[in-house]
Amino acid sequence: MDNQGQGNLTRRDDKVWLKTYEELGLTYDIDLPADNTSLIDIFEQSFAQNGDKTAYICMGSSLSFQEVDLYSRQFAAYLQSLGLVKGDKVAVMMPNILQLPVAVIGVLRAGLTLVNVNPLYTTRELEHQLTDSDSKALIMVENFAKTYQDIGRKVVDHVVITGMGDLMGTLKGFMVNTVVRHVKKLVPDYKIANSVSFKDALKQVTASKYKRPSNIVLDDIAVLQYTGGTTGVAKGAMLTHKNLVANLIQSNTFLGTAFDDFDRRGEQPVIMTALPLYHIFSFTVCGMFGLYRGCVVLLVPNPRDLDSLLKAYKATPPAFFPAVNTLFNALANNEEFKAMDHSKLRMSMGGGMAVLSATAEKWRQVTGNIVVQGYGLSETSPVATANPYNSPTFTGTIGVPMPATDIAILDEAGNEVPLGERGEIGVRGPQVMKGYWNREDATAEAMTADGFFRTGDIGIMSEDGYVTIVDRKKNMILVSGFNVYPNEVEEVMAGHPKILECGVIGVADEKSGESPKIFVVRKDTSLTAEEVIDYGKEHLTGYKRPRHVEFIDELPKTNVGKILHKDLRKLEEDRQAK
């Protein structure tokens, strides 16, 4: 859809969520800093305030704010020495290790644009992102260097390669790198001409050579955040310094009071960072927000390694745990986790995908913590809506609009639908991207004439401003003319005591056009297809009930735990082709 004919869009005059803000004593309006400020100012203020306090912990090793300040200035000076200038893109491709925040902050302090890259990308995906973004440099962990080598040509001008343990101290770093390289054999052989080690890059130029850029303003692009690509070719969302600074202020205004008790006691709250920082949810609400609030950011390199995650949680109990439904579910069903002390945990925030009520209830029983569900996308920096941190119950909604944010539920023409009716969620606010990099057509298609970003998600808004997300438009199943939303069916079916998790897609049906099929990961191996179907009959209206059941060992997911419905559809297509 283009913006032609959208000049007279119908909009509600009242912000119905303001009464909820008033009832909860929350502030809706925020003050943004002056235009000549940037994320660099946020960093410098935090470093000055927090000094030798711990900033990041990974695998038992830590960096203070003071050390991050020094290392990031050194790295920024190194990048500047390469001749890189404002507007140049630098890609960073690492899991959650100590070098990642140093590299990220260094790129931004140098006045350059950060390109977050998933380290598990295939060679094809990496080539696309580096080429599409026109990245001039790539900072990567050695485990994935072969991925870049296999492109078979020089795509960037500069490559910096680090080992997992490079900032963990001389002895421990040597031991970690030795185990990774030679015991676990996680580093395939590679040869990249003229690459530089991360350690050497830090040594080559002293921090005194760093030149703080004077020409960075709020409207400049800070990050190219590529969309997940689950619906097609990944696009780079242009997130400005203003977008990210605004989202930090919004998050702090709305959720930051969860940390106030720690501040009064002079204790640093810990943010559990199991979700990868290259993903926008973790990037902002863990990495950037932790720096903004002076928290300890507890880095977990591999969230699927539950043993390491549990070890980190036990050693440094978190106050804030952002996660996705699949991670909450896995931990709530883990006996070792159940036995741990959760007394410091103040807020558990679900994002990235819908948190199921069955999972939220298990989590509450184990930790005593209510899951606060939020919502956002790469294009919204990401937080667009959230539930208040002290919600007395799990609402099942994605909450109300963040401060200074408008949410509209739109029809196909871009007009706002009446309250209580389904439509596409539109977001307007200072955290909404500048547009897609080099994709004016996609930007025009995604934005309404009056500045709402069309998310592609279907939602309903209540009279008090709470939004319930129904599903992605693309995942909708059409059964005899009725819309069936997989999230709704998954929410209900996950309540079966023998189901660990499930995913629902539509399959061809001669009578109804499509019918729901459910892929089930069993918690109890005695579960039968008949039991699943009977449970659906008991809890869902006729056209929503799964008609087909397939048991599966593991659901396909993104690296942050979202169920990949497109992969389930591909699996079904392959079944039918046989």
Extents of the domains making up the chain? 39-457, 476-577
Q: Which residue has the tokens 């939004």?
A: 467
Is 90 exceeded by the pLDDT of residue 555?
Answer: yes
Per-residue pLDDT for 5 more than 70? no
If you average pLDDT over every residue of the chain, what do you get?
A: 93
Measured CA distances, 360 to 147, 209, 388, 494, 561 (Å): 38, 50, 15, 11, 16
Q: Average pLDDT in the 96-106 region?
A: 98
Mean pLDDT of 243-251: 98
Residue 487: pLDDT band by 50, 70, 90 thresholds?
confident
Closest by CA to 480, choosing from 503, 518, 506, 519, is: 506
Phi/psi for 176 (5° steps) reads: -65, -45
At 4, the pLDDT band (50, 70, 90 cuts) reads very low
The pLDDT confidence band at residue 460, using thresholds 50, 70 and 90, is very high
pLDDT tens digits, one per residue of 331-358: 999 999 999 999 999 999 998 777 889 9
Residue 572: C-alpha distances to residues 139, 349, 507 (Å): 38, 33, 8
- Residue 169 is which amino acid? G
| Contact partners, residue 291, CB within 8 Å, separation at least 6 | 42, 43, 46, 55, 101, 105, 297
Residue 239, strand partner residues:
223
Percent of the chain scored above 90 by pLDDT? 83
pLDDT value, residue 281? 93
Q: Which pLDDT score, from 0 to 100, does residue 125 have?
A: 85
Angle subtended by helix axes 99-109 and 39-50, to nearest 10: 130
Residue 549 pLDDT greater than 80, yes or no? yes
d(CA 286, CA 335): 26
Q: How far lies 64's CA from each of 53, 316, 395, 454, in Å?
A: 5, 15, 38, 40
The answer as to CATH 1.10.8.60 being correct for domain 39-457 is no
For residue 1, pLDDT over 50 is answered with no
- DSSP-H helix ranges across 185-240: 198-204
Among the listed residues 532, 467, 531, the one whose alpha carbon sits nearest the alpha carbon of residue 502:
532
- The pLDDT score that the predictor gives to residue 10 is 81
Selection from 199, 120, 116, 203 nearest residue 162 by Cα: 199
- The H or E element spanning position 45 is helix 39-50
SS (H, E, C) 390-458: CCCCCCCCCCEECCCCEEEEECCCCCECCCCCCEEEEEECCCCCCEECCCHHHHHHHECCCCCEEEEEE
Laid out side by side, the sheet with 196-197 consists of: 196-197, 158-162, 135-141, 89-93, 113-116, 221-226, 236-240, 435-436
Instruction: Name the strands in the sheet holding 270-273, side by side, starting at the edge strand that comes first in the sequence.
Output: 61-64, 54-58, 296-299, 270-273, 320-323, 347-350, 371-376, 383-386, 400-401
Q: Specify whether the CB–CB gap between 105 and 287 falls below 8 A.
A: no
- 548 CB burial (10 A radius; 0-12, 13-18, 19+): middle
Residue 30, pLDDT > 60, answer yes
Tell whether the model's pLDDT for residue 229 goes beyond 80: no
Q: How far is CA 501 from CA 206, 325, 334, in A?
A: 51, 10, 14
pLDDT at position 481 is 66
Dist. CA 310–CA 339, nearest whole Å? 11
Q: What is the pLDDT of residues 117-126, one digit of tens each?
A: 989 888 888 9
To the question of domain 476-577 being in CATH 3.30.300.30, the answer is: yes
What type of residue is 501?
E
Label residue 8 by pLDDT band (50, 70, 90).
Answer: low
Reported confidence tier of residue 541, pLDDT bands at 50, 70, 90: confident
Query: What burial class does residue 204 get, using C-beta atoms within 10 Å of its C-beta: 0-12 exposed, 13-18 middle, 19+ buried?
Result: middle
What is the pLDDT confidence band of residue 230, given thresholds at 50, 70 and 90?
very low
Report how far residue 456's alpha carbon sits from residue 471's, in angstroms, rounded to the nearest whole number: 9
pLDDT at 3: 43
Q: Is the per-residue pLDDT at 485 higher than 60?
A: yes
Closest to 161 (Cα-Cα) out of 179, 175, 181 = 181
DSSP structural state of residue 349 = E
Which residues make beta-bridge pairs with 57? 62, 298
At 317-336, the pLDDT tens digits run 999 999 988 899 999 999 99
With a cut of 80, say whether residue 208 has pLDDT above it: yes
Flag the least confident range among 19-28, 48-57, 456-465, 468-477.
468-477
- Per-residue pLDDT, 488: 85
Which of 372, 374, 310, 373 has its CA nearest to residue 342?
310
